[in-house]
Amino acid sequence: MNDLPDTARPRLATKVRLKWDEVRQKPLLLFPEGLLVLNPTAHEIVGLCDGERTVAEIVKMLGEKFQSDTIDRDVKDLLAKLIGKSFVVIAE
Amino acid sequence: MNAMETPRPYSLLCELTFRCPLQCPYCSNPVDFGRYAEELTSAEWERVLTEAAALGVVQAHFSGGEPLVRPDLPQIIRHARQLGMYTNLSTGGTLFTESIGAQLRAAGLDSLQGSFQDADAENSDRLAGGAPSFDKKVRAAELARRLGFSLTLNVVLHRQNLGHLEAIIALAERLGAERLELANSQYNGWALKNRAALLPSRAQIEAAARTAEAARLRLAGRMQILYVLPDYFAPFPKACLNGWGRVFLTVAADGTVLPCQTAREIRGLKFENARRRPLAEIWFESEAFQKFRGTGWLPEPCQSCPRKEQDFGGCRCQAFLLTGEATATDPVCSLAPRHHLIADALAEAEAGAAGQLIYRNAIESRRFEREIDALTFPPV
C-alpha cells in the first residue's frame, strides 16, 4: 500500500486525539473505541500530520532528523495503516 | 500481584444514571437497577474523574441509562476534558436538543455515539419499548451532524434484527455516520433473561458477518464499520475488557466501583463505593479488583492453556451467571467443562426463537430484585 501521493496533506480525523500521557510518560493516540501507545517514530510522524504539511515535507523533516534511509517507506507505511483505520484522513 | 506490578487503568466508564426513557431488552444495566437509584452528585463525579486522571485514566466514556437526563452532563464532560481526557458519550438520542448539543460541543466532547435498535420505526420502537423513539433518534443524528460532531451509530445485533443488517447499514450511511458499531448482544443481565428470544441461529450470524464485511470494503474511507462477533459462536472466549482490573473500570450511577459494568451480577463479591474510598485504593487494594486480576487464580483447563495470557479465562460474569461459580472457565470456551451450557442454548436457537421479550423497566427490575433477594449466595 504505497499509493499515498507525496503531495497528500494528512491530518488526524476529528474523532482522534494525540495526547502525552503524564502518568506513564508515553505518547497516546486516542479514539472512540480505544487507544494506541505510540513508539517515538510514530509519535514524530503523527505529530506532523496537521493537514498543511505534505507527505513529502514530513519525510524530508524526519529524514533530516533521524538520518534514516528508510524514512520515506516508514512514513508512508504508518500513514497507510492509520488511514486504513480511519485515524488519519487526507485534508481536502 | 503487588501494587508495583499492577497495571493502571486507561479507561473509565461513568454510568451517570440508571434512568432511561428506553427499555431495550438487552440492556447492560443490572437487572435490579432500581435499587441503585441514589446517584452521585456533580461534585462527586468531578472528584471521581480527578482521582481517575491521577490513577492513569485517559479516556472517559459516559453512558447510563440515558446520560442526557442529567442536566449537569456538559459540566461533567467539561471537567473530564480539562483533565486532558478523551471523552465519549453514548446516548439513546431521544433527549438530544440543539441547546444540549451546543453545550456538549462547547464542553469539548470528542465522540458522540447514538444507539439505534433497528433500521425502521416499527421494529426499532418495538425493540426499544416505551414511547416511540425512532423518529427522535433520526432527528438527533441529523442535528449532531449539523453541529459538527463525529457521529457513531451503535446497533446491538440479535435474532430479531440481524436480518435487517443491510437496511441498518443504509440508515447509517443516510445519516452520515463516520462509524457504525455493530455489536452482537452479550448474553449477561437483561439479554440473558431474554436469551431465548434474542439468540440467533448460526446461519444468521454467518450471513451478517458476510454483509458487514462487504459493506466494510464498499464504504472504506467513508464510514468505518466495526462488527463484533458474538462469543457464543466462537471457539474461545473473549479477553473480557482485556483482563479483570487491568485497563478498565466502571463507576456506576450510585458510586459503586466495578471492574466491568456487569460485574455486580456476581453476587457474593463485595464491591466498594467511590463515595467512601479513593479510587486508587479501590483499584489497587480492594478485594473485588484483586480477585481475578492476572492469571494466578485461573482453574484448569485455563491454567495450563497457552491462550491464558490472551483471554484470561473469559468473562467472569458469564461464568457466574451460567454456572453459579465465578471462578469457573467461561462456558463459551470449547474447552470448558461446562461448554454444554452454550451448546444447548445454541441448539435451542437453531430450533427457533422462543419467549416474549422482558423489557428493561422499573416494574421488571423490582421483580428481579425480589427474586435475587429470595436467594442466598456464598461469598466468592
Q: Give pLDDT tens digits for A15-56.
A: 999 999 999 999 999 998 899 999 999 999 999 999 999 999
In A, minimum Cα distance to B89 occurs at A32
In the predicted model, what is the mean pLDDT of chain A?
Answer: 91
**Given this model, what pLDDT does residue A91 score?**
85
**Given this model, what pLDDT does residue B191 score?**
97
pTM of the model: 0.95
Q: Give pLDDT tens digits for B14-66.
A: 999 999 999 999 999 999 999 999 999 999 999 999 999 999 999 999 999 99
What parts of chain B have a pLDDT lower than 70? 1-4
8 Å CB contact of B8 and A23: yes
Place of cell 502518568: A23
8 Å CB contact of A15 and B8: no
**Given this model, what pLDDT does residue B304 score?**
95
Complex confidence, ipTM: 0.89
CA distance B42 to B45: 5
Q: Give pLDDT tens digits for B96-148.
A: 999 999 999 999 999 999 999 999 999 999 999 989 999 999 999 999 999 99
> Which run of H or E residues covers position B116?
strand B111-116
pLDDT band for A70, please (50, 70, 90 cuts).
confident
**Given this model, what pLDDT does residue A1 score?**
47
**Given this model, what pLDDT does residue B135 score?**
98
Summary count for chain B: helices (H), strands (E)? 15, 9
The grid coordinates of residue B303 equal 491454567
Phi first, then psi, for residue A84 (nearest 5°) are -60, -30
Domains of chain A: 10-86 (1.10.10.1150)
8 Å CB contact of B56 and A13: no
Q: Which residues of A touch B58 (CB under 8 A)?
A: 19, 21, 28, 30, 35
CA distance B187 to B156: 11
